[in-house]
Amino acid sequence: MLSSIIDAFKVPELRKKILFTLAILALYRFGAYVPVPGIPFNEFANQFTQSGGVSMTMLDLFTGGALSNFSVFSLGIMPYITASIIMQLMQGVIPAVGRWAKEGESGRKKITQVTRYLTLGLGLINAIGYLFLFKSQAYGVVFSTEVPELLTDFVVVFTLVAGTAFIMWMGELITQRGIGNGMSLIIFVSIVSRVPSAIFSSINLTADLGMGIAITALIILVVLACIPAIIFVERAQRRIPVNYAKRVQGRKMMGGQSTYIPLKVNAAGVIPIIFASCLIYFPAQLAALFNIEWLTNVANAMSTGWINWILTVLLIVFFAYFYTSMVFNPEETADNLRKQGGFIPGVRPGTATVTYIKNVLHRVTLPGGIFIAAIAVVPSIVFFFTGNTLIQAFGGTSILIMIGVALDTMSKVESQLKMHNYDGFFK
């Protein structure tokens, strides 16, 4: 792997993309520690630690600590992801949005533009909600008294919304000019940034320092042992054999070859986990907006306990099927096979091929969805009974997101290396 990293920096174009990506991510981490104007930084941080519930703690994890600092990036990437989920769902509900998705580049531009406006709208709602929440009796934070309160409120809301727009812009910049998916990398960096502090908190959780170190080391070893299994499932494929009939084209004999259609066990990657997490913690964002006691209780109940576990499993499996159906079209695949003279052995071309591919896809997606759901839920159950913060930071959702994003980014780097005749990471 070290030689592959060195080879990556030997390619000027790839080196610029990697350095550009690292620079944008460093700027994002810097913004997570820049508080909004008029906020008493130390007082707010202490009050957040005392008053923040489980749901707020999880939201803080996905913002990389920006929320507990009430920084300009407090809203994180959640408004954009929520807007993306809404637009994905709208493609199957609103015919016009569905047509945009099929129009190619022009349609994607329209969807992207609507997603941006929707992100700003959700960011505005969240910003107002956080403002009222932190000024409520539960937190009791006193903002700057040197200027009128209304002006301070406006500046706080404007800064938070501008921070959301800036994060969205940085993510799109990484996707366009850097390496990997920008939004996924921002979530990746947010989660990784909380791991060192979680390790120290885990060590100091017990009065006995030696016991704390032993428990922390055991958790890290279990996580390291799970990584190969997760990678194995992430890269596992079900290969459908395909034969091509021989045909004469001009003076040449074409076809007569055999290949396969690779169907990934987890074709949706980390998308089901990210989408499920956003929906589960969406009530927490609503609770922050309306500051209603029963809504806060619902948000906390959905953030931990058996309700959270059941919802997580169901949503992850649902989004695994949903997203796989969005990215893989059996009808289009079967039609392309027919046009190219290909066929699946023992299966008639046309409708029978479509049905066969759909059945295989459904059988493959189910175990993949259940596996990632189990990886996401089991650490949450362990954290519920132990209270160890390292398990929360190193939980299944966090691990799956980190590994999925890392593998996706490495695959993109590898494809760039192979273009320049270098060996990649996966040999």
DSSP string for 13-51: HHHHHHHHHHHHHHHHHHHTT-BPTT--HHHHHHHHHHH
Question: Does some domain include residue 314?
Answer: yes
The reply to whether 170 and 294 lie within a common domain is: no
* 121-150 as b/e: b if 16+ CB within 10 A: ebbbbbbbbbbebbbeebeebebeeeeeee
CA 345 to chain centre: 38
Residue 427 falls within a domain, yes or no?
no
Q: Which domain holds residue 147?
A: 1-191
Domain boundary among the residues 156, 191, 226 is at 191
- Whole-angstrom Cα distance, residue 160 to residue 155? 9
Angle between helices 271-280 and 396-419 (to 10 degrees): 150
Q: What CATH number is associated with residue 123?
A: 1.10.3370.10
- Model confidence at 79, pLDDT cuts 50, 70, 90, reads confident
Eight-class DSSP state of 132? H
Domain match, 228 and 156 both: no
Same domain as 229, residue 177: no
Same domain, 164 and 303: no
Tell me, yes or no, whether 253 and 174 share the same domain.
no
Over the stretch 311-362, which tens digit does the pLDDT of each residue have?
Answer: 888 988 888 888 887 777 788 888 888 877 777 888 888 888 888 888 888 8
Reduced to 3 states (helix: H, G, I; strand: E, B; else coil), residue 242 is strand
- Residue 11 and residue 123 in one domain: yes
- The answer to the question of residue 93 being in a domain is yes
Mean pLDDT of 230-252: 75
Q: Is pLDDT above 60 for 255?
A: no
**Domain check: are 267 and 334 in the same one?**
yes
* 23, 30 contact by CB (below 8 A): no
Nearest alpha carbon to residue 401 among 202, 192, 217: 192
Domain boundary among 160, 191, 222: 191
Indicate if 18 and 63 belong to the same structural domain: yes
Number of H helices, E strands in the chain: 20, 5
Task: Out of 35-49, 269-283, 333-347, pick the least confident.
Answer: 35-49
State how far the Cα of 130 lies from the Cα of 138, in Å rounded to an integer: 12
pLDDT of 154 higher than 80:
yes
Q: Identify whether residues 310 and 207 lie together within a single domain.
A: yes
For residues 293 and 351, membership in a common domain is answered with yes
Say yes or no: 222 and 368 in one domain.
yes
Radius of gyration of the chain (CA): 24
Question: So what's the pLDDT on residue 217?
Answer: 82
**Domains identified in the chain, total number:** 2
419 within some domain: no
105-127 pLDDT tens trace: 788 888 888 888 999 998 888 88
Higher pLDDT pick, 283 / 266:
266
Of 191, 210, 231, the last residue of a domain is 191
Q: Domain check: are 46 and 95 in the same one?
A: yes
